[in-house]
Chains A and B, each alone.
Chain A
């Protein structure tokens, strides 16, 4: 399951950001590259794999090349785990807030 909610310059991704849905998410993101600023809310991401990482990396690169800003926010635990493993925090440059009260599993 994956759900995408767009609200202006904000896109919330919820569910499994994995190979099963990577193509769908990518297709939804491409038109948004034109926005000068985009905020992707990852708080609802329950599963996250390499294909998910790639879709976000590509968005970051494409928007950066056009001089647009992509911000990731609300990193869910699944996202934080992968970012920590692959040391992606610096690459994306967004502050990752640990979920309040919840210690990472």
Chain B
């Protein structure tokens, strides 16, 4: 039990010294991505190799006086560079090993002694062939500024001592020693804007809730990260759960709430497990519960698992879901800050927003405002995915340009193809084109071009991506997730999806484009919540910036990217076919037939135009014909 801020400071110093005295800290990424690539096996092999070498090992961080100068080999949260996983980081040097396999364990352990890193496991730049030893020198990491993700991949998320050694809970200690109003003013002054998409200043929400008189108030962390293509909240919850607890503790103190809920998406079982562990550790160490740090403030937290509904990312729907009902939004006002969960004043902040709070309190408002732009201070995480060379999770100062992110950090487009567009903000956002490459990524600049930062999904598309098909994809998603309460959202998204389906099937007419715009604007105007208000964005922005591509589909019956199945026909060029039968074997509908060593043929009636045969043929014999 930590009983005072001074005691916390003392522990921090002793753990930090313990960390400095270690021979090495091995951090094996155990984020969902690296686990899928086999990182748990790598961790087991490393433990085995350490034992064989007779090195002192421990599973958790030790205090200064307990330290044996040994090695810790722990599972960490996501390092962000998922493409190169499984990732292993060696501290204190900060060496990063990529694509590590269990057989590499002995060499990694041997390298701890001889000081020479294992060269074959180091990151090699695909274009320049330059080899990087340290994680912080790799271009993917070099241009990042990590605040919310500062500890992700650098500590064991299940070890509260490691969080404390990295100045954990110091922000809370600072907050709890001041009047609550001071804390609210700090966050207000920092102009911390909601990282979940809307960009509403967190301090404004806090001051409303703080000013309402009530016997009970609540603070909710919104971890219902539903945007397809975004996984920053998952990474923070899995990689640094104590940061969220600390942020909520500060928020709770500021507004006078004694209870809080962390609402986590059903699809993130690992995040739930790590948060539960972190909650029980924080309780055991006296950082949650009654009379925290001897200040008299009491705060309890609960984890609530979502059940799979995108609309529950919306504040009032999320509240309905915690109350046990269908997650349907309610009209506002009253805003949740006045009447939220069980009609009590409730603050709902996104995971990343809360993850920024501890550092604002610990390092000060001026430090926070040092990065970012005047109207959007601080940093933002982005999930960089799609047809970009380096996929993964990044955090950069607000105001960096699209070009910086896609080319400098992302390493450009995969397979040396041409950049076509980047979709930002998921199903609520829009598509940006080449002309926007120098647009700064901040709340206001994006809003001006009809897009939004959203939760920060950045899906990069190349010339082989069909914009119309992507618009259809998003419409199908929002139509599916519309809760059905507002007629315009329920019916309108369905009609928009049908029109887009018609276009990609090759049955569209020019008049459909005007119709899409009209329906889209009506859906925006006639919906209660953010889902409906923003659902038409992907369609409306692409209609604006890629009108030619829509026209090619409806007027010329042609898909320039060669994606839309309804607009293409496949055939096998007899002169190139060697009769290997590979195409026939991959065909999902058995539409290809022939005799081995003789040219095969495609039955056009049966063909569903999936293109599996094109990818399978090593001889380029399957061709698209007009």
Chain A partners chain B? no
